[in-house]
Structure formats: structure tokens, C-alpha cells
Amino acid sequence: MIKKKLTIFNKDLAYKLLLIFFAIFFNQYYGYQGILPIDSFLIFNSGFDLMNGYLPFKDYWTIKEPFIDFLQAIIFKIFGVSWFSYVFHASIFNALISVSTFLILKQFNLKSNYCLLYSICVAILTYPTAGTPFSDHHALILSMISLFFFILAIKTKKNFYWFLTPVILGFSFLSKQAPTAYIVVIISFLSVFYFFYKKDLKIFYYALGGLIFVLTLFFIFIFLANINFNDFLIQYIYFPQSLGGTRLDWVFPLEFQDSF
């Protein structure tokens, strides 16, 4: 029995290593296949600015991805300013969501071969569509991982998943407001229902602890960087809302000649 478990463990480990290599290599290849004039360089520029001491909300206007800019600045510091290190940032997240998919599928006792197959499909379809770091992809990946943690919190009854879920959602929100805001609403609604159903305040305290932790990190950064909180609200909350509000202008008021 022990020998069989070790064999399964070694096989899964080999699959995860293979998956990491494939996810990184595949995205690294497509990250060099053409560019979008604005989108492909957006985080490159802001990450470079942040590395050189220019802060979001304070020194330059930004309506999304401060968390991604921060990560890109760190990667530039470690690997140097180059297109390779820029694409490698996206490749890391491509590997992250691929391995996370493999692990969540294993939790539901799916055979390792199928877990590998589906995870490779995720590696092909997730970040290679952009190749370079992109706010939509980061927010989607982090939102999916938060959903995985939420599912694992219920399935495994391990409280640290309740703690990690709001932490990852916080990082996702600082990558892009949507779809994170929708995932926050879904998880919050289901969590409240689950808390009342189980009547277990302990898991609520863990989730609240995760929320307090990520908010504390954020406000420490705001304080140390000497960023005006009102500037954050205007740039990251109010202004994007004004942009989103115009998307329904063509719908209302309902008029026959506009609809047909």
C-alpha cells in the first residue's frame, strides 16, 4: 500500500513538473509572436516606472493593475529589464493557474492522466492568448484561484482556505476591478449562506481575518508610499465606474428606431 502511494505521488509530481515546464515554455513562445501597440507595452512601462521610484496614483494616473505593476517591478529587479523577463511574468501566472487546476481536479479524485490533459488545455488557452502580462488575465487567474480556495474550504474543512480566499481576491481586485467584483459578490453570498447553514463562527473569523490582513497590507502600502487615499478612490473606483456607465447609453431609452 505504501509503495503504491509513493508511486502515485511520484507520478503526480512528474506531471506537475511537466505541466510547469509546458505552461512556461508555451507562453514564452507566443509572447514573442507579435505585439499589440498599446496593450503589450502598458505593464512594461508602468512596471519600469515603479521600479524607478514612480508610484501609482501618486506619480502617474492609473485605473487598473497596480498589483501587476508591483510584481513586474520585482521581476525586472531580479531578471533585468528585458522582453524575456516581461513575458516570463505572464508565463509564471500561466503555470500557476495550470498547476492550480491540476490540484483542484485531483481533490475530486479525477485520474492523474485526465488532470494533466485538462490542465494542459488550460495552459494553452489562458495566457498565450495575450503572451505578455495583461490585467484581464491576471484578474481572471486570481479570481479562479480564489474560487478554488473557496471550494476547497468547503470540501476539506480546512480553515486556512477561508483565510486565503479574501487575500487572493484582494490581489485580484488590485489587478482589475472586473471580473473580481462579480466573483466577490458570488463568493460572499455563498459564504454567508454557508456560515448560517453550518452555524460555525470559527470559519467566519478566518475569512474575516483574511480580509483584514489584505486590507492592512494595502493601507500600509498607501501610508508608506505617501499616497493620498482620495487619489486612489478617484482613479481606481470612481473614474472606472463612469467609464462603465456609458456602455448602456445605446440601450436606454428604449426606442424602436434604435433597436431595429
Q: Which amino acid is at 163?
A: F
* pTM of the shown model: 0.88
Residue 252 lies in a domain: no
Residue 61 lies in a domain: yes
Residue 248 lies in a domain: no
Q: Which three cell numbers stand for residue 203?
A: 470559519
Q: Which three cell numbers stand for residue 247?
A: 456602455
Cβ-Cβ contacts under 8 Å for 27 (sequence gap 6 or more): 87, 90, 91, 94, 123, 127, 128, 131
Residue 253 lies in a domain: no
What total of structural domains would you count in the chain? 1
Q: In which band, very low, low, confident or very high, does the pLDDT at 250 lie, cut at 50, 70 and 90?
A: low
Is pLDDT at 203 greater than 80 in this prediction?
A: yes
Residue 233 lies in a domain: yes
Q: In which band, very low, low, confident or very high, does the pLDDT at 40 lie, cut at 50, 70 and 90?
A: confident
Q: Report how far residue 195's alpha carbon sits from residue 175's, in angstroms, rounded to the nearest whole number.
A: 28
Write down the pLDDT at residue 241.
80
Is pLDDT at 100 greater than 80 in this prediction?
A: yes
> How far does the chain reach from its first CA to its final CA, in angstroms?
69
Residue 160 lies in a domain: yes
Is pLDDT at 103 greater than 70 in this prediction?
A: yes
Q: Cα–Cα distances in Å, from 23 out to 63, 71, 94, 95, 97?
A: 29, 19, 6, 5, 9
Residue 12 is part of which domain span?
A: 2-242
Pick from 195, 150, 204, 140: nearest CA to 172? 140
Lowest mean per-residue pLDDT among 19-28, 194-203, 212-221, 242-251: 242-251
Write down the pLDDT at residue 128.
94
